[in-house]
Amino acid sequence: MNWDDTTDADAAERLVGASADREDQAVEAALRPKDLGEFIGQEKVREQLDLVLRAARARGATADHVLLSGAPGLGKTTLSMIIAAEMGAPIRITSGPAIQHAGDLAAILSSLQEGEVLFLDEIHRMSRPAEEMLYMAMEDFRVDVIVGKGPGATAIPLELPPFTLVGATTRAGLLPPPLRDRFGFTAHMEFYEPAELERVIHRSADLLEVEIEPDGAAEIAGRSRGTPRIANRLLRRVRDYAQVKADGLITRDIAAAALAVYEVDARGLDRLDRGVLEALLKLFGGGPVGLSTLAVAVGEERETVEEVAEPFLVREGLLARTPRGRVATPAAWAHLGLTPPRSQTAGNGQQDLFGA
């Protein structure tokens, strides 16, 4: 194969990948609830938010700024779109990493329409100069644009139309208090119970025109890590399996067989999760082991292990963080069907987990 052939092949692969991503995004958009009545789960958040929006509509005013925190995939973006829909307002979507300069934020704010909803994802990753500009914009609907440099620089005040900022963050603790305090309503999104995920799966199956039995939905829900986004993604993969390998009907057995093909076990662990546990148990005797060493052992970046695999493993009680490093719990040994070495557990910092 010559260079041109390789280039063409790479380009074709990128196009196929981009097309698949667009298709997934289109499906996800189609499955999003359009109003609070359709939104499943997060009962307290829904009730509180409904009061905030109804009161704003009754006053004919712009809704207060809203801060939504919680793990990825729990519905923060969906709720921002619902807020805009409930208020009959357009929505502008951007993210913290995209705003690296105060001028970037000023350009967005100055183009907003009255009542518009600005959704700022990953708000904790916004640059400090932009963050400081946002304080005044949220409180006074005004920004000062600096023209010039040095002693000759002047600040030109720019009035903004009233708008609603919806900030979303997975790490609320990184938000400075002055920013957090400017939100009129804050909500923390909780992980979903299996019964709630079953309702999400049945709703999505209806929209996708997929036939699914209750036990099939329960099987998928149990492996969805308490997250609707994951539940919908697994549903689509099980649908593919059912269409190719069966008659299209999703039963418990079909769901279990499909998820085994995609390496999602009965507890919801995927390839990366199991790789981390297997390395921790088989290579390092259950730990303690440093995060960087563990990441090298599984062939992943440190950030991937820390931000993707670890939170779920800790929440499931399979892994613990200690001052000396990562340590497997008794539940991890049991889940992989392994026996912890008795002579090792007494001296490696795991005695608190395994007992004396």
Is residue 121 annotated as part of the catalytic site, yes or no? yes
Burial of 216 (0-12, 13-18, 19+ CB in 10 A): buried
Is residue 77 annotated as part of the catalytic site, yes or no? yes
Q: Are 318 and 353 in contact (CB under 8 A)?
A: no
3-state secondary structure of 116: coil
Write out the two tokens for 27. Answer: 């499906």
Q: Are 136 and 144 in contact (CB under 8 A)?
A: yes
Query: How far apart are alpha carbons 240 and 259 in whole angstroms?
Result: 11
Is residue 229 annotated as part of the catalytic site, yes or no? yes
Which helix (H) or strand (E) covers residue 67, if one does? Answer: strand 66-69
Neighbouring C-alpha atoms within 13 Å toward the C-beta of 293: 12
Set 62, 77, 251, 345: catalytic member? 77
Set 46, 76, 239, 326: catalytic member? 76
Q: What is the distance in angstroms between the CA of the first residue and the CA of the last residue of the chain? A: 63
- The length of the chain is 356
Query: How far apart are alpha carbons 256 and 30 in whole angstroms?
Result: 26
Q: Are 210 and 243 in contact (CB under 8 A)?
A: no
Which helix (H) or strand (E) covers residue 150, if one does? Answer: none
Which residues, other chains included, contact 196 with Cβ-Cβ below 8 Å and sequence gap of 6+?
40, 41
Set 46, 62, 78, 121: catalytic member? 121
Set 78, 164, 170, 345: catalytic member? 170
3-state secondary structure of 327: strand
Give the sign of the dihedral formed by CA 45, CA 47, CA 48, CA 50.
positive
Q: Which residues pair with 91 in a beta bridge?
A: 117
Which residues, other chains included, contact 98 with Cβ-Cβ below 8 Å and sequence gap of 6+?
104
Set 46, 229, 239, 274: catalytic member? 229
Question: What is the residue whose two structure tokens read 């609070």?
Answer: 36
Write out the two tokens for 327. Answer: 């340590």
Is residue 206 annotated as part of the catalytic site, yes or no? no
**Residues that are catalytic:** 76-77, 121, 170, 229
